[in-house]
Amino acid sequence: MNEAALLGKTVTYPKSYCPEILVKVPRRLNREIYGIDKPETLFCGYDSWHAYEASFITANGLPVSGVLKIVYPASSQFLVESKSLKLYLGSMNMTPFGNTPREGITLFTERIRQDLNRLLETRTEICFHHEAPAACPFDFDGYEILENRPETEQAHFNIYQEHPAYLTENSRESDEELKAGSHLLKSNCKITTQPDWGSIYIRMKAHRLPDKLSLLKYIVSIRNENHFHEEICEMVFKRLTDAYQPEILSVACLYTRRGGIDICPVRANQPQYLPHYLPRTETLTARTFRQ
């Protein structure tokens, strides 16, 4: 099946374990559009997923529910299509795993890991969170939220198709490191054009930096783009790389959950610039305003 086989279609939910419903999407299709022919030389990173409706039953019929955190590398050739993952996880809601919740969680997560490893041809990390943590760390403290700047109220926003020219408009020389974010990230599903909402966080150090209002205008210009979440993250990363040849660059797009699943792709030009907690499956991070 391709990515259009399930999205936008009325699909009967599987009543029992159904790994065949999983759909993989080649990353290269979108990368070719933006000239990302050697992604391994441009960025490293991962896609971090949170499935808030993960559940199964034990051998004696006791339901076990929690949050499933899934992380796999941006170096994989494929990504998993989100609706297929939702249907796949839903197919296990009435599937028995283990005699106790603890045993069941081990078996449940291992089954999912094996299925995703096979599908994506990569190594997938998975952790099932059975209880809410006492505290959740956050990777993006200290990032300035661009729409909160006073000049935005008087600015004009009138372009809603991705407009990379905004990035070099009013750019300036700087020795500072930019840490900026916005809760105004919006794009549309590549297949259904349904709106996808989220927050974006950008860390960058370069000889020249974008004017902050112009950077916000660029983020807003993505509003009517039709791409998967991972593709939006890589598009922004490539545009910033092309415009500034940064010494430091990381882009994180933390999307709002849809269908009980959120997707948080992150890309950086060096591993040390990746967020600390988001790739750790054993750690649930604090949600952003949009999540």
Task: Determine the longest span between alpha carbons in the chain, in angstroms.
Answer: 66
Contact 66, 54 (CB under 8 A): yes
Tokens at residue 186, please? 């919006």
Q: Which entry of 44, 47, 189, 264 is annotated as an active-site residue?
A: 189
Active site includes 175?
no
- Tell how many helices (H) and how many strands (E) occur in the chain: 7, 12
Give the Cα separation of 72 and 273 in Å (integer): 17
> With helix as H, strand as E and coil as C, how does 228-258 read?
CHHHHHHHHHHHHHHHHCCCEEEEEEEECCE
Q: Which entry of 44, 47, 139, 196 is annotated as an active-site residue?
A: 196
Helix (H) or strand (E) holding 117: helix 101-120
Tokens at residue 71, please? 């992380």
Q: What are phi and psi of 137, to 5 degrees?
A: -75, 165
Active site includes 141?
no
Catalytic annotation, residues: 189, 196
